[in-house]
Amino acid sequence: MGDVTVADTQLSPRTPRGKQAASGDVGAAGTAAAAHPPAAGHVSSEALFLDIAVHELRSPLTVIQGYASLLEGGDLGSLEAPALKAVRVIAAKAREAQEIASSLLTVARLESNELRIDSTATPLRPLLEAAHDRVGPRLDLDGASLSLDCPADLEVLADADLVTRIIDNLVNNALIYSEQPASVSVAAGGARAAVEIRVSDRGPGVPEADRERIFERFVRGAGAERAPGTGLGLYVSREFARRMDGDLSLEASRNGEGSTFLLRLPGP
């Protein structure tokens, strides 16, 4: 999957150690915000370790990225082709490491209940169209397709940034795991007081035994070797959905025929 890559825009300031984040940080998440909350007055040692480790990692990674960018751009002198190729690999791996660090930071903040959510009535179609635009160059390069079906007036009661991150993750996953050239569809519609968004691919499918495991931390499905990742994207996406009083599930999957993920969100 395309793991979550932007961790800080929805995160509250770090709370003092040993204190639980205030309930106001969770916003409109309600009871769903406590899917796996820390005990009162306690931040798990695992979340604390991730928080500290990621903050320590990000500074040297930023420096590596900065110097790699200078080298690649010729600011420090011209490079021969083999050296330039090596610098580009370094830059790509540094970006990958930053994405992993950001994903881990998101997990740490989720598990210490420090996620800030701002749920408002949000038009859904513009979010889906923006997701299409972001993968446009990839579609052109790979000869892939992404179809959208969403009523112009459909709205969700949700945090637009978190919905964007969920959709990006599901779409990138579908493109990665589909047989090439990939053909992915996103279809949204209202169902009573809820909105349902389905992302379908033509991938290998998910074995019955793995259909819940893929939502666990650090679990990646068959074909994961096609792209780098941490196995955190689906875990984080489901947590985001549940903390907005929604859910994310694997609705259908057939061996060799593809999968459909279902994102449910409250209607306005």
Query: What are the Cα distances from residue 140, in Å, to 101, 137, 158, 165?
Result: 29, 5, 31, 22
Under 8 Å between Cβ of 144 and 190: no
Nearest to 218 by CA among 22, 23, 50, 13: 50
Distance in angstroms (rounded) separating the CA atoms of residues 42 and 48: 10
Higher-confidence position of 151 and 42 = 151
Single pTM value for the model: 0.68
Task: State pLDDT tens for residues 84-119.
Answer: 999 988 988 888 787 777 777 777 777 777 778 899
Structure tokens at 65: 């990225």
CATH code given to domain 120-266: 3.30.565.10
Residue-wise pLDDT tens digits, 53-69: 777 887 888 889 889 88
Confidence check: pLDDT of 31 > 50: no
Lowest mean pLDDT among 138-147, 219-228, 249-258: 219-228
Number of Cα atoms under 13 Å in the Cβ half of residue 92: 8
Give residue-wise pLDDT tens across range 148-201: 999 999 999 999 999 999 999 999 999 988 888 999 999 999 866 899 999 999
Is the CB of residue 155 less than 8 Å from the CB of residue 226? no
d(CA 10, CA 29) in angstroms, rounded, equals 13
The domain ranges of the chain are 23-111, 120-266
